[in-house]
């Protein structure tokens, strides 16, 4: 039978369309970064391949931090002054939905077992525990003063929160939704992460320029590792061993901390007040918002040099892309 | 060119933060205030630009087309001091330090009671994605709130005792806008914070809103013959329009009990609430009588502050002859 040329053309066109769509989807998935411009209430959409800003969208008042949902289908932007969570498609950058009446969300976190969604309120000294499915408030705990970043233990038993203005770390027992303990730490603690061994908490201290190592089960400080002035945030490199530490000054830097030896093994200059960070899945690039320079800085991790500065908006804070090396 | 200007501005802002502000903040264990300090440096630099723009654009106008000519301008100097303290952030920082913790406490308490203060955007969600509409909406609301704040400061005796400092200047110039008693500033700050609690803080263009308001305020006090035209004077507060607010005397039959022409930006509020007075002349300014001594027109900064406090205390004493 002689094939009908029209149906052949249609079939071929259909296949081509499928291939095109798949290619486009993969390219898009690898290609979008979202940066939050906290002072102007916008998000910048950046092509991670060309480093071009492809769009800038007005979102809400004071978007500070963002994180993906466990299924990676959305990225949640915390709009502190707007009392909202705004969900975006991490592939296209399109807004998906808004949840209102989430009081002053600043930092966000899902417990590893996905049973809790936690939000800190830096301005109003409070930590809120939500149901991660319907975002209904389960508990509201006072956290004086200035609860900032958070970390969880692997068993999702506790959430640990830094209290920036009272120089403490607070542990909240998620099962009882009560404050378990509060311990003093180095001045102005900000970023906090759980080390891969689940034994130590690592707390970045802006006041002392150190990462403080805390054996959390005994609430003891075991070491202070000097990084640089105004150590602020920590981000895993994705190898289960190293963390980047942003030292947030105008002439800032980023240090690389080895959690096996608890020493700084590398450091490179990153101007503009490096704050939140993301590492690409291939480990070749580190992205950091430059809080005081209206830029996102991209560092080539092979050369350890600043590769490109991407102009964004005022006071860029959170940054995220799907193609990352891991968040814990 | 705009991009180069913004880059230069941000670089200078960063340099000042790094070299001047950050070291003492970190040394005092106040590192968590660095972000706010960065905004504070922006406020300071905007103030410098505003003062420079006001001096370079409005001062020549005052020299070329003066309404009043004074051989002795010493009384203006204190207004220049007020302007510097206000525009460069000293007074706003003081007010913020006093009011922010109080309002954070109230706001925090409300949240624990399950009350989230409303936002304008909750009522009009479309504003969330429309920055220009949002800017205009907040500008109108702020001006409306300012109309009533200003009118109340002329109506309540205790507030008028403080606000009279602003009106005591007989040599009104572009600098007079910031001539306010510190407690008057505190009351205004309280009013603004209350408004922020009721409708939400203005969005990202807050600095733009502030610049718009302050530019018109500088202009409306200028000692220069400037006309916005018949229509313009009804749309935006002009130097002539605001001069009648500061008038030493109003024509017989036109004296509103507590003054006239209260808006900062839009005269429409006066039209709506019946407090407008329009005339072609440029009246003399100052206080014909009132809670302050005659010397207040010539006093220095601290003396004016003291005179204001004395006038305030006098309002709480029984006085059957008081208006």
Tens digit of each residue's pLDDT (9 = 90 or more) over A114-134: 999 999 999 899 999 999 999
- The nearest CA of chain B is from the CA of A291 a distance in Å of 8
Nearby residues of B281 by Cβ (< 8 Å), 6 or more positions away: none
- Give residue B323's pLDDT: 47
Give residue A47's pLDDT. Answer: 96
pLDDT classification of A26: cutoffs 50, 70, 90: very low
Q: Whats the size of chain A, residue-wise?
A: 328
Residues B290-306: what's their mean pLDDT?
Answer: 89
Distances (CA, A) of B141 to B86, B200, B233: 23, 11, 20
pLDDT digits (tens, 9 = 90+) for A223-240: 999 999 999 999 999 999
Least confident piece of the model among A245-254, B17-26, B216-225, B267-276: B17-26
pLDDT at A314 over 70: yes
Query: What pLDDT does residue A24 have?
Result: 46
Q: Which of the pair, A12 or A292, is modelled with greater confidence?
A: A292
pLDDT digits (tens, 9 = 90+) for A61-90: 999 999 999 999 999 999 999 999 999 999
Residues A61, B201: C-beta atoms closer than 8 Å: yes
Worst-scoring range by mean pLDDT, A33-47, B41-55, B199-213? B199-213
Q: Which of B210, B199, B197, B37 is nearest to B123 (CA)?
A: B199
If one compares B100 and B243, the residue with the highest pLDDT of the two is B243
> Which pLDDT belongs to residue B144?
95
DSSP A256-284: EEETTTTEEEEEEE--S-EEEEEEBTTSS
- Residue range B219-243: mean pLDDT, rounded: 93
Domain borders along chain B are 14-25+33-315
B204 pLDDT more than 90: no
pLDDT value of residue A9: 52
- pLDDT value for B212: 83
- Contact at CB, B116 and A83, closer than 8 angstroms: yes
Q: What is the pLDDT of residues B169-202, one digit of tens each?
A: 999 999 999 999 999 999 999 998 888 888 887 7
What values do phi and psi take at A273, rounded to 5?
Answer: 85, 65
- Residue pair B243/B225 in contact by the 8 Å Cβ criterion: no
pLDDT at B29: 78
Of B32, B39, B204, the CB nearest to A41: B204
pLDDT tens across A197-218, in order?
999 999 999 999 999 999 999 9
Q: A37, A38, A58, A233: which to substitute to probe chain B, counting the most B Cβ within 10 Å? A: A58
pLDDT at A17 over 60: no
Which of B13, B15, B31, B117 is best to mutate for the A interface (most A CBs within 10 A)? B31
A314 contacts B204? CB cut-off 8 A: yes
> How confident is the prediction for chain B on average, in pLDDT?
89
User: Could you give the CA distance from residue B86 to residue B93 in angstroms, rounded to a whole number?
Assistant: 9
Tell me if chain A has a CB within 8 Å of the CB of B39: yes
In this prediction, residue B253 carries a pLDDT of 65
What is the model's pLDDT at position A176? 97
For residues B151-162, give the mean pLDDT.
93
Helix spans in chain B (H): 2-16, 22-27, 34-53, 59-64, 74-87, 90-112, 120-123, 131-155, 157-167, 182-199, 206-220, 229-235, 239-245, 268-273, 301-315
Q: What is the mean pLDDT of residues B117-132?
A: 88
Distance, in Å, from the CA atom of A27 to the CA atom of A21, rounded to the nearest integer, reads: 10
Residue B273's pLDDT is 93
Q: Which residues of B touch A100 (CB under 8 A)?
A: 122
Which residue among A126, A207, A293 places its CB closest to the CB of B31? A207
Asked if residue B246 has pLDDT above 90, the reply is yes
A23 — pLDDT class (breaks 50, 70, 90): very low
- What integer is the mean pLDDT of A154-171? 96
Q: Which of B32, B38, B203 sits opposite A206 (nearest CB)?
A: B32
Q: Are B204 and A272 inside 8 Å of each other by CB?
A: no
């Amino acid at each position: 039978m002689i094939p009908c040329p029209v149906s052949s053309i249609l079939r071929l066109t259909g296949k081509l369309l499928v291939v095109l769509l798949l290619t486009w989807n993969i390219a898009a998935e690898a290609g979008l970064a979202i940066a939050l411009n906290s002072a102007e209430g916008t998000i910048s959409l950046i092509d991670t391949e060309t480093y071009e800003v492809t769009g800038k969208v007005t979102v809400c008042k004071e978007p500070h931090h963002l994180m993906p949902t466990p299924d990676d289908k959305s990225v949640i932007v915390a709009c502190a002054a707007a009392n909202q969570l705004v969900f975006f498609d991490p592939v296209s950058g399109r807004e998906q939905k808004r949840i209102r009446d989430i009081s002053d969300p600043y930092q966000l976190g899902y417990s590893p077992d996905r049973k809790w969604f936690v939000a800190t309120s830096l301005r109003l000294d409070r930590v809120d525990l939500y149901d991660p499915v319907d975002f209904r408030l389960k508990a509201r705990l006072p956290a004086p003063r200035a609860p900032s970043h958070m970390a969880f233990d692997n068993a999702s038993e506790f959430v640990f929160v830094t209290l920036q203005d009272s120089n403490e770390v607070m542990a909240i027992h998620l099962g009882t939704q009560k404050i378990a303990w509060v311990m003093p730490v180095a001045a102005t603690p900000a970023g906090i992460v759980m080390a891969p061994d689940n034994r130590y908490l690592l707390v970045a201290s802006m006041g002392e320029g150190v990462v403080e190592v805390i054996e959390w089960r005994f609430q003891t400080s075991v070491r202070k590792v000097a990084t640089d002035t105004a150590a602020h945030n920590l981000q895993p490199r994705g190898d289960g061993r190293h963390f980047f530490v942003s030292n947030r000054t105008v002439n800032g830097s980023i240090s690389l901390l080895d959690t096996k030896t608890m020493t700084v093994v590398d450091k490179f200059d990153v101007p503009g007040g490096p704050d939140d960070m993301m590492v690409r899945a291939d480990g070749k690039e580190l992205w950091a918002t430059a809080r005081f320079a209206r830029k996102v800085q991209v560092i080539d991790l092979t050369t350890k040099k600043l590769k490109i500065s991407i102009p964004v908006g005022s006071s860029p804070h959170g940054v995220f892309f799907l193609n990352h090396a891991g968040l814990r | 060119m705009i991009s180069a200007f913004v880059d230069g501005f941000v670089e200078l802002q960063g340099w000042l933060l790094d070299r001047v502000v950050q070291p003492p903040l970190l040394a005092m264990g106040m590192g968590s205030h660095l972000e706010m300090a960065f905004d504070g440096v922006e406020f300071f630099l905007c103030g410098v630009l505003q003062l420079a723009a006001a001096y370079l654009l409005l001062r020549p106008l005052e020299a070329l087309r003066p309404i009043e000519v004074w051989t002795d301008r010493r009384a203006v100097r204190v207004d220049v001091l007020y302007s510097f303290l206000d525009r460069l952030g000293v007074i706003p920082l003081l007010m913020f330090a006093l009011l922010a913790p109080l309002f954070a406490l109230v706001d925090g308490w409300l949240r624990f009671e399950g009350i989230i203060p409303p936002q304008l955007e909750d009522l009009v969600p479309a504003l969330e994605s429309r920055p220009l509409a949002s800017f205009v909406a907040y500008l109108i609301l702020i001006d409306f709130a300012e109309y009533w704040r200003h009118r109340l400061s002329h109506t309540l005796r205790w507030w008028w005792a403080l606000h009279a400092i602003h009106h005591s200047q007989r040599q009104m110039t572009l600098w007079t806008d910031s001539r306010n008693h510190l407690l008057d500033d505190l009351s205004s700050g309280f009013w603004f914070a209350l408004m922020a609690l009721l409708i939400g803080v203005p969005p990202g263009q807050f600095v733009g809103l502030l610049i718009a308001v302050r530019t018109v305020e500088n202009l409306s006090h200028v000692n220069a013959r400037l006309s916005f035209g018949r229509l313009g004077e009804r749309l935006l507060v002009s130097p002539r329009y605001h001069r009648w607010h500061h008038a030493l005397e109003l024509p017989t039959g036109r004296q509103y009990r507590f003054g006239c022409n209260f808006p900062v930006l839009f005269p429409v509020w006066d039209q709506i609430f019946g407090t407008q007075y329009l005339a072609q002349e440029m009246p003399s300014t100052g206080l014909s009588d009132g809670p302050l001594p005659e010397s207040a027109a010539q006093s220095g900064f601290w003396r004016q502050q003291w005179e204001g406090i004395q006038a305030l205390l006098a309002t709480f004493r029984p006085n059957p002859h008081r208006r």
